[in-house]
Chain A
Amino acid sequence: MDDFERELRQAFERRPTPPGFKSKLMRKRRAQRSPHPAVLWQRLAASIALAAVVAAGFAWRQHEERRKGEAALRQVMIALRITNRALDNMNKQRAAHGRVNQN
């Protein structure tokens, strides 16, 4: 029992920390917390690349919509010209045959 008590006391005995222990510990902790500078750069580069891809996608979509809109408008105009021509032809024919114009 005495031995046990002695061992216990020794185990709980307060010992001074070795010199530089705290700074070593803090350094380790910091190293664990902050990644390596190379990793930081990689992350930054990845973020920039991602942002660039998103921006490019957005710009491309805008451009595509504009292009499609312009093409569609052009086609509407052709369609209306053809419609106009068809109706004019009809009116001319009807006028030639002495019929009343419908338009």
Chain B
Amino acid sequence: MRKQIAAFVFCAAALALPALAQTSQLPAPSPIEKELAARASHVDEITLDKKMLSFAANFMNGKNTQPGANPLDNRDKEDTQKLIEGLEGIYVREYEFEKEGQFSADEVEQLRKYFETSEWSPLVKDRDSKTGESNDVMVKLVNGESQGLFVLDVERKEVSIVLILGPVHMQDLRKVMDIAVRGALTRDDMKKGTKVKEKNQAGSQ
């Protein structure tokens, strides 16, 4: 009986591990993000794990689509699908503030440290001490291959965090970013799919 229980537990663990592994790659939100979100006038928070990305890829695959439902044309569809299928996760945060000085350099530094781990190699490190603007681009290299991209873009009234896990080829990424920018999906459509927080401006006036 004990052997049977042990075997059952082993099987359950073996089944659960891949599921855990899928979600464990993306980082938990840093505590600073919560504070920034509380002060921001506009927040975009996107967390897509492997499972969600495969939903998106399947949707594009046409298995679950109705004719004409997908607004992307075939070429764009192929490029986007190719990129999405290979990715392990996407973690994006964008905080827009009404006024300058609504976040400190210390908070930015804490954010940077939170994501900066030994496996990431810095590609761009830009600091403007006058304006407080900064840019960080890091890549995760595994056996010489790019397996992740991290971008921390700090503007005067904006902080953006981008973390893309999985094989990222800049050319492919650029192609699909262009598709996204071209407005294959309208702004109204996009707002539905994200957690957007619009603070009541009337309240602050």
Please count how many residues in chain A sit with their CB below 8 Å of the partner chain's CB atoms.
31
Partner of A72, one of B44, B56, B180, B192: B56
Interchain nearest-CB distance for B187 vs A (Å): 9
Which chain A residue has the least Cβ–Cβ distance from B161? A86
- B residues 167-195 near A (Cβ < 8 Å) are 170, 173-174, 176-181, 184-185, 189-190, 192-194
CA gap between A76 and B79 in the complex, in Å: 13
Interface membership of B160, Cβ < 8 A? yes
Min CB distance A92 to B, Å, is: 10
Tell me whether B65 is interfacial, beta carbon within 8 Å: yes
Query: Please, which residues of chain B bring their CB within 8 A of the CB of A7?
Result: none
For B84, B164, B185, which residue has the most chain A Cβ atoms within 10 angstroms?
B185
What per-residue 1/0 map shows which CB atoms of B32-69 lie under 8 Å from chain A? Answer: 00000000000010101000110111111000110001
Partner of A73, one of B59, B153, B170: B59
* A90-B153 contact in complex given A75-B48, A75-B193, C-beta closer than 8 Å: yes
A68 touches B52 (CB 8 A): yes
What is the count of residue pairs linking A and B with beta-carbon distances less than 8 angstroms?
132
Contact A90-B174, Cβ < 8 Å, known A75-B194, A78-B193, A82-B92: no
Closest-by-CB residue of B relative to A73 is B56
Q: Are A99 and B190 in contact (CB under 8 A)?
A: no
Enumerate chain B residues within 8 angstroms of A71, measured Cβ to Cβ. 192-193
Interface SS of A by simple majority: helix
From the candidates A73, A80, A102, name the one contacting B123 in the complex (CB within 8 A). Answer: A102
Whole-angstrom distance between the Cβ of A81 and the nearest chain B Cβ: 5
The 9 closest A-B pairs by CB, nearest first: A69-B59, A74-B193, A72-B56, A86-B153, A80-B180, A84-B177, A90-B135, A79-B92, A66-B64
A–B Cβ pairs within 8 angstroms, 28 of them: A65-B64, A66-B64, A66-B65, A69-B58, A70-B59, A72-B52, A73-B60, A73-B80, A75-B52, A76-B48, A76-B90, A77-B179, A77-B180, A77-B184, A79-B46, A79-B90, A80-B181, A82-B94, A82-B162, A83-B92, A84-B181, A86-B160, A86-B162, A90-B124, A90-B137, A93-B135, A94-B135, A103-B170
Interface of B with A (CB < 8 Å)?
44, 46, 48, 52-53, 55-60, 64-65, 69, 80, 84, 90, 92, 94, 123-124, 126, 128, 133, 135, 137, 151, 153, 155, 160, 162, 164, 170, 173-174, 176-181, 184-185, 189-190, 192-194
